[in-house]
Amino acid sequence: MNNPIAKNIILVIGVLFFQLMILNQLNLAQSLLPLIYPIIILSLPRNINKSLLLGIGFGLGLTVDVFMNTGGANAVACTLVAFFRTFFLSSLAPSDMGSETIRPSVINMGFKNYAVYIFLLLAIHHVAFFFLEVFTFNEILWTLSRIIVSLIFSSILVLVYQYLFVSKKK
Amino acid sequence: MLVIGLWLTIQQKNYQRTAFINSANTISGGAYSTVNNVQDYFHLRSVNDELQAENAQLRAQLLTSLRRVNGDYFQVVDTLYQQKYIYRLADVISNNYTSANNYITLNMGSNDGVIEEMGVISPTGIVGIVGAVSDNFCTVISFLHPKTEISCKLKSNGVSGFLKWVGKDISKAVISDIPITTRVNQGDSVLTSGYSSVFPAGIYIGKIVKTEKDLENQTQRIEVDLNIDYSALNKVYVVENLFKNEIEELSKKEEELDE
């Protein structure tokens, strides 16, 4: 399992399966739709080519759109996440944290910085996605409450994922 | 890329049918149906109950279970009756009901004779309208979607209106175009009207729980408690109206007469 490409493919398939076949099918509550799959974009290596990053974001979002029947809402949200990732990484992750190829994770960024990193980027994703999904500013409070509840849940799930799967390898 | 994404989102909102990006394709349809094969076993009991209840209801309508009134049966001569609706039993392989726009994916497509804009019902009520079809799968625009409007009527007085989901609660829907002067009884049943050529007439949808007067528009806001449980859809029927083309041609001619 040292081949990074195989590792990436397993990560993508695993996360998408969990998102689409388990989280989406559970239909937890009317206000709750945790979206954790942007973790794929968030944990790509730090020095990745910028246009490749945007391309991966768009492709990933479009894949999820096909499964969720959401037109292009996920594609837009993911492209935004991929676009803003660089800014947040440069301010939240110290550049002397070792190799430039390192993947952002809770270990090499520290709990506080990593939590801020995923919370802000997931917030961008959720705001874009939920507003594009309803496509109206009517009942804005209801949409906002859906965003906040789902965002809290998604962030917790991503942190749990980090401690379960990423920490062990160290 | 942002522009493409936004364009895809907007063009989905504009048209009556689902966008060409939808879950009725081989990859997502296949994945959903594989996972559903496993999930099916957990629902067997409730599906069985539902179908048995429907069987009992249909049995009650059989000629043999009707009481003789005048000593003679009404004879059913089948040249008098022509088949109008065909029902195809389909499996729900993906069901969403917590989004603002909900979709359902079924394991039936154009190979099974399903085409767009056919109605989908379950033993307990109205499910939705077929929005996109591939060879083996179709995507249904659920009743729980702001685009879906169902023509319905009240059982006691036959007044008709449009039933719409208003969001948040999956067991509630609203009729908002009945005039303020019409008397509406609480607890009255709401049935499909059969005017739309998508659904057969007389399917029980739910009962009225609340009415509010809207003085501004001179209408009433009638809240309906839906009989169907959208969180437990497993087996559904795709309804084909054999006279749909004829009805649509007629209404086209009507429009031409207006011009």
Residues in chain B with CB shorter than 8 Å from the CB of A79 are 1-2, 5
Q: How confident is the model at residue B77 (pLDDT cuts 50, 70, 90)?
A: very low
**DSSP labels, A69-127:** T-TTHHHHHHHHHHHHHHHHHHHHS-TTSS-TTPPP-HHHH-HHHHHHHHHHHHHHHHH
Check CB contact under 8 Å for B9 and A32.
no
User: Which chain B residue is nearest to residue A79, measuring alpha carbons?
Assistant: B2
User: Which chain A residue is nearest to residue B93, measuring alpha carbons?
Assistant: A25
Residues in chain A with CB shorter than 8 Å from the CB of B32 are 21, 67
The model's pLDDT over B200-238, given as tens digits with 9 standing for 90+, comes to 888 899 999 989 888 888 888 999 999 999 988 888 888
H-helix or E-strand spanning residue B127 = strand B125-133
Q: Which of B158, B116, B162, B160 is nearest to B143 (CA)?
A: B162
Check CB contact under 8 Å for B5 and A76.
yes
Q: Which residues contact B128 (CB under 8 A, 6 or more apart)?
A: B104, B119, B120, B140, B141, B142, B143, B144, B145, B148
Check CB contact under 8 Å for A71 and B4.
no
Evaluate whether B143 touches B198 at the Cβ level (below 8 Å).
no
Q: Which of B243, B230, B142, B155 is nearest to B192 (CA)?
A: B155
The answer to whether residue B217 neighbours chain A at the CB level (below 8 Å) is no
Check CB contact under 8 Å for A76 and B139.
no
Here the tokens at position A92 are: 């939240």
Model-wide pTM > 0.80: no
What letters, b where the CB count within 10 A reaches 16 and e where it falls short, cover B5-41? bbebbeebeeeebbbebbbbbeebbebbbebbeeeee
The answer to whether residue B10 neighbours chain A at the CB level (below 8 Å) is yes
Evaluate whether A33 touches B98 at the Cβ level (below 8 Å).
yes
**From A27, A31, A32, residue closest to B97, measured CB to CB:** A27
Residues in chain B with CB shorter than 8 Å from the CB of A67 are 23, 28, 31-32
Give SS3 for B117.
coil
Here the tokens at position B128 are: 């939705």
Q: Which residues contact A56 (CB under 8 A, 6 or more apart)?
A: A40, A41, A44, A82
The model's pLDDT over A43-63, given as tens digits with 9 standing for 90+, comes to 888 888 888 999 999 999 988
Phi and psi at residue A119, to the nearest 5°: -65, -45
d(CA A163, CA A38) in angstroms, rounded, equals 17
| pLDDT > 90 in chain B, percent | 20
Evaluate whether B239 touches B118 at the Cβ level (below 8 Å).
yes
B 183-212: CB under 8 A from A: none
- Amino acid letter, A93: A
- Report, as an integer, the average pLDDT of B4-14: 71
Evaluate whether B225 touches B206 at the Cβ level (below 8 Å).
yes
For residue B74, the model assigns a pLDDT of 46
**From B19, B28, B231, residue closest to A67, measured CB to CB:** B28
